[in-house]
Structures are given as structure tokens and as C-alpha cells.
Chain A
Amino acid sequence: NAGVTQTPKFQVLKTGQSMTLQCAQDMNHNSMYWYRQDPGMGLRLIYYSASEGTTDKGEVPNGYNVSRLNKREFSLRLESAAPSQTSVYFCASRVTNSPLHFGNGTRLTVT
């Protein structure tokens, strides 16, 4: 029972490079989320998808795009990475009125 799976676990990018963070959940949850975690800032919402076929901006969407590929998968894309995007990225999912379930994170460094 995998829950929420994120790939890759670690990534180093040069400024200006692009990459896609992958997330998949096997719990049949309708809503999926991308957060970033920075020291002293807690978790901040980047984008979310309330249901398959919809995506919306969270608190800090600039520099990111997302795709809800199907009910299971929700990817986060950095088109042109910047050092300010160095962070730990967490994907989460849930059904309505239930708590979030998190993946184990992707640690991204942009040099």
C-alpha cells in the first residue's frame, strides 16, 4: 500500500533548467496538492487540483505549472528554475473533509 509516491527524491538543477516533479497516489483520492517547505516558513501551497480535470493556484504559484494527468497523477513543472526555488516539495492528496496524506518529498537544489 504505497499511499503518495513522489519522484525523484533528490534533484540538482542549474539556473534556467527545467524539470517535472511526479506524484502519484493509489488511494482513489479526488484532490491533490503541491506544497513547498522552506526553513521557518512551514508548508506553503503552490497549486492544487480539487478533482480530475481542474487545477488552481495556491499561495505561491509563480514559476510553476501543474498537470492533473488523471485521477492518480499530479505533476509539478519548473520551466526555468531559479535559486529561489530551492526547497523541499511535497505532494499530498485527500478526499473531501478528510486530512491530507503526504508523500516523502523531493529535495530540489537550484545552483
Chain B
Amino acid sequence: GQQLNQSPQSMFIQEGEDVSMNCTSSSIFNTWLWYKQDPGEGPVLLIALYKAGELTSNGRLTAQFGITRKDSFLNISASIPSDVGIYFCAGRESGGYQKVTFGTGTKLQVIP
């Protein structure tokens, strides 16, 4: 099955630093989603993007839906220890059962 190319795979950053991660696909998506997964829990939705070019913020998080509809990025500003976790991008198709394809995840570690 198709997988999104998500990078970086992992990153260690100092508390207070900004973080950027991105996803690219060979397919066009109508919706891009960003999820965070804490250890031992299921993914939780952070941001949903519905239009090409859309830039959306949720607190310290900002995400953009790429203009080509084949990519998206997520930025976290002024990181804090509770930002630790795995971040997944996901692209959703519009037809059929609205298939959702997930990226392989970015594991974020924040050093206090």
C-alpha cells in the first residue's frame, strides 16, 4: 500500500527551539491531517487542512497544505517537554471511502 514520505524520522531538540517536519506524496490529497501519538495511546488530531495553500494554526502549532496538494508541513514553535511524541501526517482522498494514508511518523524528543 501507498505510504507518505515523512521526514525527518526522528529529531532531538532543546526545549525552546522551533521544530519543522514535512510530508510529501506522489498522489494528490483533498485533506491533510496531522496527528500526535503519546506513548501507549492512540493518535490524536492536531490540525486538519482542507484547501490547497491553507495555513492553519493551533496554539504553537502551524501547518500548511501545499499548493500542489502533494505535500504538507508542520511547525512547532518554542518546544516544551510535553511536545515529546510521534507526529504523523495523513492524506485523505475525496472519492470512494475517503481512504486515509498515513506517513511513517516523526519521533520528537525534547531535551529540557
- Which residues of A are in contact with B by a Cβ distance under 8 Å? 4, 31, 40-45, 48, 50, 56, 59-60, 90, 92, 96-97, 99-105
Interface size on B, as a range, is 20 to 34
15 cross-chain CB contacts under 8 A: A41-B3, A42-B3, A42-B88, A42-B103, A42-B104, A43-B102, A45-B100, A50-B97, A90-B42, A100-B45, A102-B43, A102-B44, A104-B42, A105-B40, A105-B41
What is the CA–CA distance of A50 and B97 in the complex, to the nearest angstrom?
Answer: 7
Q: A41-B3, A59-B1 are in contact. Are A104 and B40 (CB under 8 A)?
A: yes
What is the CA–CA distance of A49 and B80 in the complex, to the nearest angstrom?
Answer: 38
Interface contacts beyond A50-B97, A92-B42: sample of 12 additional A-B pairs, CB < 8 Å, sorted by A: A4-B42, A31-B97, A42-B103, A42-B104, A43-B88, A44-B1, A60-B1, A99-B48, A100-B43, A101-B45, A102-B44, A105-B41
Contact partners of B3 in chain A: CB under 8 A: 41-42
Q: Does B66 contact A (CB under 8 A)?
A: no
A97 in contact with B98 (CB, 8 Å): yes
Q: Which of B29-87 contact A (CB under 8 A)?
A: 33, 35, 40-45, 48
What is the CA–CA distance of A49 and B78 in the complex, to the nearest angstrom?
Answer: 40
Cβ-closest chain A residue relative to B50: A97
Cβ-closest chain B residue relative to A35: B102
What is the CA–CA distance of A102 and B33 in the complex, to the nearest angstrom?
Answer: 14
Contact partners of A48 in chain B: CB under 8 A: 97
> Could you count the A-B residue pairs with CB atoms below 8 Å apart for me: how many are there?
51
What is the CA–CA distance of A43 and B92 in the complex, to the nearest angstrom?
Answer: 13
Cβ-closest chain B residue relative to A49: B97
Cβ-closest chain A residue relative to B105: A42
Task: Give the Cβ gap from A46 to chain B, nearest Cβ, in Å.
Answer: 11
Contact partners of A56 in chain B: CB under 8 A: 97
What is the CA–CA distance of A44 and B103 in the complex, to the nearest angstrom?
Answer: 10
A103 in contact with B97 (CB, 8 Å): no
Residue in contact with B45 in the complex, picked from A4, A40, A44, A99, CB distance below 8 Å: A99
